[in-house]
Amino acid sequence: MARLSGRTAVITGAASGIGRAASILFAKEGASVLCVDRAGTVDETVAAVTAAGGRAVAMTGDAGDEDCVREYIARAQSEFGGLDIVWANAGISGGWVDYQDQDAAHWAEILRINLIGAFLAVKHASAVMIPKGKGSIILTASVAGIRSGAGGSPYSASKAGVISLAQTAANEFYGTGVRINAIAPGLIETGMTKPIFDGARARGNEDKIGQLNPLTRYGVPDEIAHAALFLASDESSYVNGQTIAVDGGLSTSHPVVRRKR
């Protein structure tokens, strides 16, 4: 039996990587999916879903903008007749910028998309879900938000905020039946991490990618999508306010090769 049969899901950051993999998987499991991204290639995700026999609609927009969030919440309901799952997955890394070269605008943009976008998803999705007494909201955090060594300062701070948001929001909605959880991916091959993988392959070091975690390998988007499927489904009905690390064990120690300034 399809684990999301008859349900409506919104997935942001759906044009590629984790969001695309999740859109295809959720639809395969019976959900109708609104795929949201500011990149026009979100249409390719919908094409992949429909080619596999699933149901999906594309929407372009900035997941860190409140008008866009209002629109995707309304659009999911108008297109599919309800709203059961929202995954605030859209995010940016900001790259590696020397600390003295970072400025407030750089920080603000990363926080706007990664953290404020997640907050807005919780705010507007919960308003629809609370009257029904149920719903699953999923946020994309990162192992970089757990401790140092896995990302730049603004990115890490934004993801630490997402972890806190999952905890605090779960308690804000005490007794409502709405669950809020986060996923903290480790090193996953996506568009955002492409420079890391391209650089390693150019140096002939591809076999060393992911060597710092106990599984000694990197992950793929589908592995994160399956974790989200668990959180979206009734199988996780007693999981709330948690952050699940899907990282090959990296966050158990966060070993890191130090870079000299």
CB atoms within 10 A of CB 79: 16
Tell me, yes or no, if the pTM score tops 0.85: yes
* Given the residues 99, 155, 218, 238, the one annotated as active site: 155
Q: Mean pLDDT, to the nearest integer, of 224-239?
A: 98
Distances (CA, A) of 70 to 93, 104, 161, 185: 24, 27, 22, 27
Report the pLDDT value the prediction gives residue 1, as an integer from 0 to 100. Answer: 62
Residue 51 lies in a domain: yes
Q: What is the secondary structure of 177-232 as a DSSP string?
A: -EEEEEEEE-SB-SSTTHHHHHHHHHHT-GGGTTTTSTT-S-B-HHHHHHHHHHHH
Q: Which of 2, 109, 1 is nearest to 63 (CA)?
A: 109
Q: Mean pLDDT, to the nearest integer, of 106-123?
A: 98
Residue 116 lies in a domain: yes
Residue 251 lies in a domain: no
Taking each helix axis from N to C terminus, what angle separates 104-111 and 153-172, rounded to the nearest 10 degrees?
40
Report the pLDDT value the prediction gives residue 243, as an integer from 0 to 100. Answer: 98
Instruction: Report residue 201's pLDDT band, with 50, 70 and 90 as the boundaries.
Output: low
Residue 45 lies in a domain: yes
State yes or no: pLDDT of 252 exceeds 70.
yes
Instruction: Report residue 197's pLDDT band, with 50, 70 and 90 as the boundaries.
Output: low
Query: How many folded domains does the chain comprise?
Result: 1
Domain that holds residue 88: 8-187+220-245
Report the pLDDT value the prediction gives residue 149, as an integer from 0 to 100. Answer: 78
Report the pLDDT value the prediction gives residue 224, as an integer from 0 to 100. Answer: 97
Residue 201 lies in a domain: no
Give pLDDT tens digits for 74-98.
Answer: 999 999 999 999 999 999 998 889 9
Residue 13 lies in a domain: yes
Residue 205 lies in a domain: no
CB atoms within 10 A of CB 184: 26
Give pLDDT tens digits for 238-249.
Answer: 999 999 999 999
User: Is 99 part of the annotated catalytic residue set?
Assistant: no
Report the pLDDT value the prediction gives residue 257, as an integer from 0 to 100. Answer: 65
Residue 151 lies in a domain: yes
Whole-angstrom distance, CA of residue 129 vs CA of residue 160: 25
In DSSP terms, which residues pair with 185 in a beta bridge? 246
Pick the range with the lowest mean pLDDT from 86-100, 149-163, 205-219, 222-236.
205-219
Domain with 162 in it: what CATH number?
Answer: 3.40.50.720
| In the chain, % of residues over pLDDT 90 | 78
Instruction: Report residue 8's pLDDT band, with 50, 70 and 90 as the boundaries.
Output: very high
